[in-house]
């Protein structure tokens, strides 16, 4: 007990020690404001749902504009998303339907078939690109390939309108011209976005599957005939 009391005696008077207000305290204690402000800018927890939806729609619209004016850019790779490809795939699948849900002869691919061709084809092309040494990520490639279906989807809408007037030689010639232009547009746009992410000596091996992918979709559009 005595030893414990002796050990506590040097600190016994510390509770009575006070620092005078006249003695300046050196040092600067400050809270960084920049990091908090930056976190608030990127935080969407308090953002209204309307603003979030509008921001996503603007991002999708900007990617559509980049596909309309394709050039070597990382616009589709920097902020990738799959909303645009999903919308285009659903639209294309609906346009390729024959219209009569209970008919045995649909006059075109089934809805599920279009989904399988588009997404399975995109996955195969992405895996091929990765195996050849591409630096693009898996979802970035899916984003680019999906968004570049837009010209072919627009071509499908034009072909449906042309088919309303008949399916003669003139109609086929118009549809062939529209599908050919949209096929070249989709191929050129996708290769423009993916060019810088591939090894220089293997670009042809990457472009060839992309060519086949859009060719199959274009062939489905060209050979489509509505059910009677």
If you average pLDDT over every residue of the chain, what do you get?
75
pLDDT score at 101: 39
Q: Is the pTM of this model over 0.85?
A: no
**Selected residue with higher pLDDT from 137 and 195:** 137
Helix then strand count (H, E) for the chain reads 10, 0
Sketch the domain layout of the chain as residue ranges: 49-64+75-99+108-223
pLDDT score at 226: 73
Q: Say whether pLDDT at 40 is over 50.
A: no
pLDDT score at 25: 47
Dist. CA 183–CA 17, nearest whole Å = 85
**Percentage above 70 pLDDT, the chain:** 69
Average pLDDT over residues 191-214: 81
Render pLDDT for 77-112 as a digit per residue (tens, 0 to 9).
667 788 888 999 999 988 887 643 334 444 456 778
Is the Cβ–Cβ distance between 100 and 110 less than 8 Å? no
Render pLDDT for 124-135 as a digit per residue (tens, 0 to 9).
988 888 888 777
Token pair of 162 as six digits: 């042309």
pLDDT score at 176: 94
């Amino acid at each position: 007990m005595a030893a414990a009391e002796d050990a506590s005696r040097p600190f016994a008077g510390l509770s009575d020690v006070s620092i005078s207000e006249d003695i300046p305290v050196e040092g600067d204690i400050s809270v960084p404001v920049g990091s908090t402000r930056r976190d608030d800018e990127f935080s969407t927890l308090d953002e209204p749902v309307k603003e979030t939806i509008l921001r996503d729609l603007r991002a999708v619209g900007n990617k559509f504009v980049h596909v309309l004016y394709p050039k070597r850019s990382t616009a589709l790779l920097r902020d990738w998303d799959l909303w645009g490809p999903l919308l285009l795939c659903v639209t294309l699948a609906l346009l390729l339907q024959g219209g009569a849900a209970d008919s045995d002869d649909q006059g075109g691919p089934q809805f599920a078939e279009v989904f399988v061709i588009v997404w399975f084809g995109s996955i195969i092309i992405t895996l091929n690109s990765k195996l050849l040494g591409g630096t693009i990520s898996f979802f970035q490639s899916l984003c680019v390939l999906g968004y570049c279906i837009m010209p072919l989807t627009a071509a499908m809408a034009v072909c449906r309108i042309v088919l309303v007037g008949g399916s003669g030689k003139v109609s086929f010639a118009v549809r062939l011209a529209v599908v050919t232009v949209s096929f070249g547009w989709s191929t050129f746009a996708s290769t423009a976005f993916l060019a810088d992410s591939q090894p220089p000596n293997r670009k042809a091996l990457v472009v060839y599957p992309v060519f086949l992918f859009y060719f199959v979709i274009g062939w489905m559009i060209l050979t489509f005939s509505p059910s009677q």
